[in-house]
Structure 1
Amino acid sequence: MYDRKCYGYKHGADGRLIIDEETAKNVKLIFDLYLSGQSVVGIIKELEKREILSPTGKEKWCKRTIDVMLSNEKYTGDVKLLKSGNSEVQYLSTDNNPAIISKETFEAVQVEKARRSNVTSGESGKQRKSKKYSSKRG
């Protein structure tokens, strides 16, 4: 479970995750593009322009794939585990695998994602902001 493969990694001879240099550079690119102001759609356009195939080998990337990648702490070397399938309790296994993204970059992306989100949590629950984040760059 700790060593479940995700884009940017492959399994070494011992079955542990190791960095796949070829796809890891694409992971770094995705994080860098997001922090430089690109929207998820803008990132997809850039990846397709560069003819970078999706994790499943397709020419088209899904928005969800990029969004999940930008939220996956595994890229920092950490893994979140749930105590059980329906539990709110989470454990963080640190330094589980080699990091592709620094913890600082990952945290900066999480802050930026929250800033761009058009959903806020208030006294009356979750609501949409009156003004939606718009990126004219993508």
Structure 2
Amino acid sequence: MKSAENKKKWVIDPEAAEVVKSVFKMCLEGKGNETIARILQEKQILVPMAYWQSKRLPRGGKKTQPNPYKWCKTTIQKILSQQEYCGDVINFKTCSKSFKNKTRLPNDPENWAIFRDVHEPIIARNDFEKVQTLIAKTKRRAPKPKNGEKSIFCDLLFCGDCHGKLRHHTNTINKDIHYFVCANNKVDYRGNCPGRHYVRADAIEQVVMLELRRMAEFLTADEEAFAELLAQKTDKELLKEKKHNEAELQKAIARNDIVSHLYEKLYEDNAVGKVSDEWFMQLSHKYETERLELKTKIKALRQKLSECGQREQEREKFTSAIRRF
């Protein structure tokens, strides 16, 4: 982390440094990234984003993991590849195509500017190099094309208990057996859901086919009643969704106004000396990050509200599809 006295100087955070050391130690002992992630989760160690937020440290990005203790193997991989832990400073790791394009792109390692032994190291250089050798030898298992195409129900099925997605799998012995399990179950994915909620893909297909046949028979027997029932159901769901989106939009707009006001007041307080430059930088970064998130949220909610008028056409398409079935 950066020193409070000198922003250009890095100092060691003792608590975070112990976690980094333990990650490298477990890797040198032969443990894989998934195993290391599971051990850290069992020890109730905060993930980096949750740790930064608990310490009120300004960091970019947004919180995407609801469980503050659930480590991902990609996070472990990133920690193991950080050369800065050896005491080095690396510049130009990212670049942009032009001054007009603000998007940062990964730069080739040969274009990096590496300054060795600038600050106090956390990991010995020999250990870091050994870990990089182990990582280079690790072979990534390629996807199996013989497993066939994905199920049509992928990304459409959710767990009834935790509301997490059901992941599609293929039986390793019998490739004709496809099934879904909860992506948040604690048996396979270190989640919170108590059960795997195993369900066969062919069983889901049979249930869907039976329901489609039932609706087709209902449509053939009484088309007016079917259309009325469908309209009642879709209108009720549409009204509920519309009210929810409108309420969320009003909250986001109100919060955006508050953040803008707070930012202006912070700027004025800094100008007259009521707020130090350090606090101004931290809080301004926080407000700016929240403002950008609110801007994206407001845009998405307005888009959802504008799409509500298209539901009528979707209803007609659904009826036409059932009629063809």
Instruction: Number of aligned residue pairs: give it.
Output: 112
Cα displacement (A) at 1:81 = 2.1
Q: Which residue does 1:98 correspond to in 2?
A: 120
Unaligned 5+ residue runs, structure 1? 1-8, 120-127, 129-138
Q: Which residue does 1:39 correspond to in 2?
A: 32
Q: Structure 2 length as normaliser, TM-score?
A: 0.32
Matches within 5 A, 1:67-86: 67-82=77-92, 85=95
**Taking every aligned residue pair, what percent have the same amino acid on both sides?**
32
**Structure 1 segments of 4+ aligned residues over 3 angstroms from their partners:** none
Q: Which residue does 1:30 correspond to in 2?
A: 23
Cα displacement (A) at 1:59 = 1.1
Report which of the two has the higher share of strand. Answer: 1
In structure 2, how many angstroms separate the alpha carbons of the residues matched to 1:30 and 1:71? 11
Matches within 5 A, 1:1-138: 9-15=1-7, 16-57=9-50, 58-82=68-92, 85=95, 88=108, 89-118=111-140
Unaligned 5+ residue runs, structure 2? 51-67, 97-106, 143-325
Contact 1:12–1:18 (Cα < 8 Å) also in 2: no
In structure 1, how many angstroms separate the alpha carbons of the residues matched to 2:49 and 2:125? 26
Higher RCO (C-alpha 8 Å, min separation 6): 1
Report which of the two has the higher share of helix. Answer: 2
- Higher alpha-carbon Rg: 2
Q: Partner letter of residue 115 of structure 1?
A: K
In structure 2, how many angstroms separate the alpha carbons of the residues matched to 1:46 and 1:105? 21
